[in-house]
Amino acid sequence: GAVVSQHPSWVICKSGTSVKIECRSLDFQATTMFWYRQFPKQSLMLMATSNEGSKATYEQGVEKDKFLINHASLTLSTLTVTSAHPEDSSFYICSARRDRGRGEQFFGPGTRLTVL
Amino acid sequence: GQQLNQSPQSMFIQEGEDVSMNCTSSSIFNTWLWYKQEPGEGPVLLIALYKAGELTSNGRLTAQFGITRKDSFLNISASIPSDVGIYFCAGQLGGTASKLTFGTGTRLQVTL
């Protein structure tokens, strides 16, 4: 149990286009999901906290108009990178906090975004 | 954003050796977690610690929640090649409902 999926696993796009990444909790409900960004050989940096039915909370320095988050159900959150540029190329990872139990966070397998 | 300091930054050990790594913070946390990440994958939860002084094991892994609540330790006994990866600590300040702050990571390499 406690499986989180991400789609797509990798994407290559042209500069200026928008890319949507999906994060799904497959066997549990998650009112809260989190989006992280990870550059090569670095740690995970939290971008935003996604709450089902309400607006996401963004970390300092993260542009909310560039990284659009929608958490429309208890099992799905999406991150849209709008007008992507090469500097947005990174590994994007989501996590889902299980509503039941101790509220552990389980991570998705990540999405590798490359902007040409 | 804030990051927790992990040491060592990297380790090269032989199969069968024990491994110790730690994670320190300038502020206290109420929950400590240890994750392992393999290349191109998301982190996988290894051990969760919920109380200061708590010592918890998961197979060959043992982790402790420091008494000061500002540090945590992870030990791996009798390492095997599949232990290779990056180990991250993470702290939660406000209990399990709050966001995680990640450590800088310890890269573990195991040679035969």
pLDDT tens per residue across span A33-90 = 999 999 998 999 999 999 898 899 999 999 999 999 999 899 999 999 999 999 999 9
Q: Which amino acid is at B72?
A: S
Exposure pattern of B28-37 as b/e (b: 16+ CB <10 Å)? ebbbbbbbbb
Per-position DSSP letters for A66-96, written without gaps between them: TEEEEEEETTEEEEEE-S--GGG-EEEEEEE
Q: Which residues are within 8 A (CB) of A54 and not within 5 positions of it... i.e. 6 or more apart?
A: A71
Which tens digit of pLDDT belongs to each residue from B55-104? 999 999 999 999 999 999 999 999 999 999 999 999 988 655 578 999 99
Cα dist. A77→A90, B34, B85 in Å?
Answer: 19, 24, 28
What pLDDT is recorded for position A72? 85
Strand A105-107 vs strand A90-97: parallel, antiparallel, or unpaired?
antiparallel
DSSP B13: E
* A44 Cα to chain B: minimum distance (Å): 6
pLDDT value, residue A85? 96
∠ CA A83-A77-A28, nearest 5°, is: 160
Q: Which residues of B touch A95 (CB under 8 A)?
A: 42, 100
CA distance A110 to A27: 18
Residue of A nearest to B47 (CA): A104
- Give the whole-angstrom CA distance, residue B95 versus residue A102: 9
- The first and second tokens of residue A90, run together, are 């990174």
Question: Which pLDDT value is given to residue A1?
Answer: 67
For residue B42, the chain A residues in CB contact (below 8 A) are 4, 6, 93, 95, 107-110
Map tokens 């208890």 to a residue.
A74
